[in-house]
Amino acid sequence: NRKKIISVDDLVSGILSGNITALSRAITLIESTNPSHTKKTNEIITKCLPYSNTSIRIGITGVPGVGKSTFIEAFGIHLTSLQKKVAVLAVDPSSSLSQGSILGDKTRMVDLVKNENAFIRPSPSGNSLGGVARKTRETIILCEAAGFDTIIIETVGVGQSETAVHSMVDFFLLLKLAGAGDELQGIKRGIIEMADAIVINKADGDNLKAAKMAKVEFNRALHLYPAKSSEWTPKVTLCSALEREGIPEVWNMIEDYTKTTSENQYFETNRNNQNKFWLLQTIEDRLKSDFYNASKIKLALPQQIKLVEVGKTTPFAAAEYLLSL
Ligand code: GDP
């Protein structure tokens, strides 16, 4: 067996010196479902934690086809031209099941992947959103410790994953398209409410006029929402990810946001609240998985389900019994 066992300290010092191999290895440990790796990853994360937190974390969402990969590539290249170090991560609990929309996919960001100041990691697999999100959150910490100062978290505009991503980022960006007059339909109210910016992509060619009209409509729609506790007024901008236009404007806006929310201390408060949320979330996930993985439960649960099915016990009595085990 030529595989060398690498110690926690070696991995951590590798990460802190910006070694991408060490970073990738540590992330693989985070993504491992082997319970014996948990202790090791927890040690790594604890040791990296003091070196994280000096970044901006940006969430990007939008329906498949809106241009997320194209946008992130253009945006990432702009950021690296400003001497930033960019990590692109993803939360996509569906990808492992459907293989439909694999986010943060290297093959879709051909230019960025070649850039030595960019690090792209596809979504971890897993069938629970909680698990996938936790892994991504832990990965953020390692990337920051490795010197990445701009973290982009991509997610797909369907389902609950936006809420999870919103709870781990400083700035949340919604990519939209100008539609055929139905711009405001089909948008989940909750997502608009979370957005710090709506960026209308594909504002090019024949689409430009519709995009400009959509901008007016989105601006009007945003006024219907109550003011945010960040005191930041969400902005609507146009861009063409394909032609790489309107991209620097998005970054300038995020810098404005950072300035505003640092001055009024929302930035820090928000991160503290997110940490509290993740603490509780981690406990919940852990209690659940410990319960379902316990051998007694694995044995008794199917039996109790059978008994409930045939009316020999009630769901509540069965639950009480299982919990008592
Ligand atoms: P994703 O599924 O949201 O990641 O979307 P992609 O980035 O894969 O883009 C979907 C399609 O839209 C691709 O064919 C892109 O070339 C195209 N596309 C992306 N951005 C633009 C843009 O700004 N203008 C135009 N015209 N096409 C774009």
Q: Is the dihedral of CA 7, 122, 130, 72 positive or negative?
A: positive
Q: What is the pLDDT of residues 128-178, one digit of tens each?
A: 788 888 899 999 999 999 999 999 999 987 668 888 899 999 999 999 988
Q: What is the pLDDT of residue 102?
A: 59
Q: What is the pLDDT of residue 181?
A: 43
Q: Which of 60, 70, 204 to mutate to test the pocket of ligand 1 (most atoms within 8 A of CB)?
A: 70
Q: What is the mean pLDDT of the chain?
A: 88
Q: Where are the domains of the chain?
A: 1-51, 52-276, 279-324
The amino acid at residue 122 is P
Cβ-Cβ contacts under 8 Å for 167 (sequence gap 6 or more): 274, 277, 278
Ligand 1 center to 319 CA (angstroms): 49
Ligand 1 center to 81 CA (angstroms): 22
Q: Which residues line ligand 1 (CB under 6 A)?
A: 62, 64-70, 108, 201-202, 204, 240-242
Q: What is the pLDDT of residue 221?
A: 84
Q: What is the pLDDT of residues 246-303, one digit of tens each?
A: 999 999 999 999 999 999 999 999 999 999 998 898 888 889 888 999 999 999 999 9
Q: Which of 103, 242, 249, 250 to mutate to test the pocket of ligand 1 (most atoms within 8 A of CB)?
A: 242
Instruction: Give the end-to-end CA distance of the chain in Å, rounded to a whole number.
Output: 41
pLDDT band of residue 99 (cuts 50, 70, 90) is low
Architecture of domain 52-276: 3-Layer(aba) Sandwich (3.40)
Ligand 1 center to 147 CA (angstroms): 30
Q: What is the pLDDT of residue 185?
A: 47
1-51 placed in CATH 3.90.79.10: no
Ligand 1 center to 114 CA (angstroms): 20
Buried b (16+ CB within 10 A) or exposed e, 209-228: ebbeebbebbeebbeeeeee
Say yes or no: do domains 1-51 and 52-276 share a fold: no
Q: Which of 20-24, 32-36, 59-63 has the lowest mean pLDDT?
A: 32-36
> Higher-confidence residue: 100 or 13?
13
Q: Mutual orientation of helices 266-293 and 295-309 as an angle, nearest 10°?
A: 80
Q: Maximum Cα–Cα distance for the chain, whole Å? A: 68
Q: What is the ipTM of this complex?
A: 0.99
Residue 314, number of CB atoms within 10 A of its CB: 11
Q: How far is CA 33 from CA 96, 289, 297, in A?
A: 14, 11, 19
